[in-house]
Amino acid sequence: MGAVQSAETAPGKQIGNDDYSLRRVPQDARYGFGSMLLQWLGQSGSLSQFVLGASLGIAMGFWDAFWAFTLGAVLLEIVIFLVGLAGQREGLAMTMLTRFAGFGRNGSALVSLVIAISMVGWFGVQNGIFGKSMQSLVGGPIWLWCAISGAVLTALVIYGFKYMMWLAKIAVPLFFALVAWSVISTLSQHSIGDLIAREPTAAALSIPAAATIVAGGFMSGAVVAPDMTRYNRKGWHVLLQSSCSMILSEYIVGMTGVLLGQLVSSKDVTSIVLSTSGFVGLVIVILSTAKINDWNLYASSLGVVNFADTVFGKRLHRATVTLVIGVLGTVLSAMGFLDHFTEFLKILGVAIPPIGGIIVAEYWVARRMRGELDRTRPTGTLPDKVATWVPATLVVWAAGFCVGYFVDAGIPALNSLLTGFLLYVVLAFTGLVRPVGTSTLEGPKS
């Protein structure tokens, strides 16, 4: 592994780690079950999930919120497993995988741009939560705390996956210890039955609308699952680890947020945490926010690297990209991007799912473009050529978004994902998924 690591850090004496941004992760650079499980669990606990649970808790009954979380979690898990398993098999980041899984070279650039913008937005949302929490805790301007958090996380992500794993080892156990203590020390003082039976105090949410917010809130994370799963050694690890993450995120953290929201009749996460866990609890939850937010920045950096390589022919170092977009995300949070949290989730709920549907349809069902990946996988290299454009895929993507955005019936996130999946399969088997042009992949492929 030493030779591999030096190849990743030595070229051009760049600061930080490029983390195989444009090639396969070799087997000797992958991690075992325990280490990767911590990374998955790190995605389960964050202030935003408490906010989401509390928001549902004051807008709908307990059991309606339960079913909303269940529908959202099932949708997310299906996408995570099927897309993530493809990433694990190929050792490729999501944006690189899309080149060979339906979108072609130029289509993958569009996907990269959308994902990069989305994840920078998420980085700003999480950083904004951090700033508000610190203002409530010790005072001072929100923008200052956002700047401090953004600088620390940017420095961490510059050095890549290895250092992000060390953060997970610290943040994950502390966070879930806090959750257990909060539930035992606070909810035990009240009648759980009474909390469950409480009527909503805010504008009502339907189960489909709430499930869309749940799924949309992490749908971008589900679609970019290959950014993480490419480091898995075995495919079954992906299923078990992601399932554990969903259970903790939706049923423990999310439903705890529902109960706490009903308890204090507020969706303000700072007041909820302060009223249940005090100073120590807030500090630990802030640490967990940092843990989930490093992945937002990481995924965005991979998207920008692929976009620049495809559109401009420039092979940017991932660490340099991280520095630039880290500053951008920090500025967004300081400007109050958090105020647009709900609108942001709704857009993600219908714009991102069709991408996952298309990847699953192409990689696991149609297999019109997968042959070259199968041929080169045993050698750990990439194909020499890739389709330049796949016009039908872009039509499918647009159709999936429109169905999710304009059709009110059902769950929009599910509508858009299924539209992308089914329409791509139909077009593929009727011969309408036809690549236009062929591009040669330049630079190192292994």
pLDDT, tens only, 126-160: 888 788 878 877 788 999 999 999 999 999 999 98
pLDDT attached to residue 264: 79
Place of tokens 């109050």: 336
First to last CA, the chain: 14
**CA gap 240, 53 in Å, rounded:** 24
> Which amino acid is located at 320 in the chain?
T
**CA gap 238, 295 in Å, rounded:** 17
Question: What's the pLDDT tens digit per position in 386-405?
Answer: 999 999 999 999 999 999 88
CATH topology of domain 30-342: Hydantoin permease (1.10.4160)
Mean pLDDT of the chain: 85
Place of tokens 């290895």: 162
Per the CB < 8 A criterion, the answer to whether 262 and 195 are in contact is yes
What tokens does 58 get? 């004051």
Sequential DSSP letters for 55-84: HHHTTS-HHHHHHHHHHHHHHHHHHHHHHH
Query: How many CB atoms within 10 Å of residue 217?
Result: 26
What tokens does 391 get? 């016009």
pLDDT attached to residue 434: 93
Residues 38, 40, 46, 48, Cα dihedral to 10°: 180
Average pLDDT for 103-131? 87
**Per-residue DSSP letter, 379:** G
Per the CB < 8 A criterion, the answer to whether 232 and 238 are in contact is yes
Question: What's the pLDDT tens digit per position in 301-335?
Answer: 999 999 999 988 888 999 999 999 999 889 888 88
**Per-residue DSSP letter, 91:** T
Question: What's the pLDDT tens digit per position in 397-426?
Answer: 999 999 988 988 777 878 888 999 999 999
CA–CA distances in Å: residue 248 to residues 119, 143, 226, 291, 416: 22, 31, 20, 15, 26
Question: What's the pLDDT tens digit per position in 240-278?
Answer: 999 999 998 888 888 888 888 888 777 776 666 666 666
> Could you tell me the sign of the dihedral formed by the alpha carbons of 218, 294, 28, 173, in that order?
negative
Question: What's the pLDDT tens digit per position in 17-72?
Answer: 899 999 999 999 999 999 999 889 888 767 678 788 888 988 998 999 999 999 98
pLDDT attached to residue 253: 85
> Which amino acid is located at 445 in the chain?
K
pLDDT attached to residue 415: 87
Q: Which ranges of 17-141 does DSSP label H, i.e. alpha helix?
A: 33-42, 47-57, 62-90, 94-98, 104-138
**CA gap 20, 1 in Å, rounded:** 13
Burial call 255-269: b when 16+ CB within 10 Å, e when fewer: bbbbbbbbbbebbbb
What tokens does 238 get? 């992906």
* 415 burial type by CB count under 10 A (0-12 exposed, 13-18 middle, 19+ buried): buried
Alpha carbon of residue 331 to chain centroid:
21
Instruction: Kindly report which listed range (10-14, 352-356, 359-363, 436-440) carries the lowest average pLDDT score.
Output: 10-14
**Per-residue DSSP letter, 85:** H
In which band, very low, low, confident or very high, does the pLDDT at 286 lie, cut at 50, 70 and 90?
Answer: confident
Per the CB < 8 A criterion, the answer to whether 363 and 324 are in contact is no
pTM: 0.87
What tokens does 117 get? 């913008």
Q: Determine phi and psi for 362, rounding to 5 degrees.
A: -70, -50
- Domain segments of the chain: what residues? 30-342
Q: Looking at the predicted structure, is the pLDDT value of residue 4 above 70?
A: no
In which band, very low, low, confident or very high, does the pLDDT at 1 lie, cut at 50, 70 and 90?
Answer: very low
Average pLDDT for 361-383? 94
pLDDT attached to residue 7: 39
